[in-house]
Amino acid sequence: MGFSRRDMLAKLTASAGGLLLGGFACKSANAQGYNDTPMLPGGRWRVHDSKRPQPTVVTPGKMSREGSMSAPSDAKVLFDGTGLSQWTSGGGEAKWVATSASFGPEKGSGDLQTRDHFGDCQLHIEFMEPNPGSGTDQGRGNSGIYFFGLYEVQVLDCYENKTYADGSTGALYGQTPPLANACRKPGEWQTYDIVFVAPRFKDGALVAPAIVTVFLNGVLVQHATPMIGASAHRAVGKYSPHAEKGPINLQDHGNPVRYRNAWIREIGPYSDISTRKMSDIG
């Protein structure tokens, strides 16, 4: 009995399917991936490696009606309206004033810093500039977020307020201007999402600079930007060796900037991008 062209194609398709199924059958019933694929650069993992560890499961935070994002399941909450227990002023009690909604400096209260220290991290924090706006240039709603107490992401009211480019909102102060001015009006809550990769030192010398990525109100304003050194006013920043972790400071610049909904995630081993070479990837 002869076979039609359609019959032949059906048999060939079934045979190919059997070979493919046979290929999958050689793996464990629960295996996901492969153990016979090429090695990625660095010689640690294969392409689609079945033995490569799975990402940690993280439950994302919920979005409020006001557009505020609550902390994900693996974050450390720095402020959620229940007080300033995570913060200190010079090692003592926090001198900033907190309500159930926000917190901020009073005149002469000084900078605030976290009690815990952090290295590579993802920081979420929301801020509001005074309304009505008062002052001009750097005297209008000035504050700042300092990683390690050294590396500043500028906070300023730049809504219809001009200043020098590397001192505007979203700038790495004194070094790199933001890619865009994404400021909202004074009196509206604004959001920073910052990924900070700490500098690396070895034997007292800099191995890799700090790398900073910043989103302001959902707009990318710093894209994996290396820092020249510690932030400085009217000077070129320089690096000095320091510990692998340090505090996060909020600056009191004499303006009543308010903050809320602050949380932080420490980043794991995949964050070590600043020291990687092509041969090390994987």
Q: Are residues 273 and 180 in the same domain?
A: yes
Identify whether residues 181 and 230 lie together within a single domain: yes
Residue 21 lies in a domain: yes
Q: Following CA atoms 124, 127, 105, 239 in sequence, which dihedral angle do they give, to the nearest 10 degrees?
A: 50
Quick check: is 154 in a domain? Answer: yes
Where residue 194 sits, what CATH number does that domain have?
A: 2.60.120.560
Give pLDDT, residue 23.
38
Domain region containing 21: 5-53
Q: Are both 264 and 134 inside the same structural domain?
A: yes
Q: Please indicate, yes or no, whether residues 119 and 250 belong to a single structural domain of this protein.
A: yes
**Count of CB atoms situated within 10 Å of the CB of 63:** 10
3-state secondary structure 4-32: CHHHHHHHHHHHHHHHHHHHHHCCCCCCC
In this predicted structure, what is the pLDDT of residue 48? 84
The answer to whether position 145 is within a domain reads yes
The tokens describing 114, both together, are 């976290």
Tell me which residues of the chain have a pLDDT lower than 50. 1, 3-29, 271, 274, 278, 281-282
Residue-wise pLDDT tens digits, 176-234: 999 999 999 999 999 999 999 999 999 999 999 999 999 999 999 999 999 999 999 98
* 190 & 223 share domain: yes
pLDDT at 76: 97
- 26, two tokens: 């050689």
Write the pLDDT tens digit of every residue in 137-158: 998 989 999 999 999 999 999 9
Is the pTM value of this prediction over 0.85? Answer: no
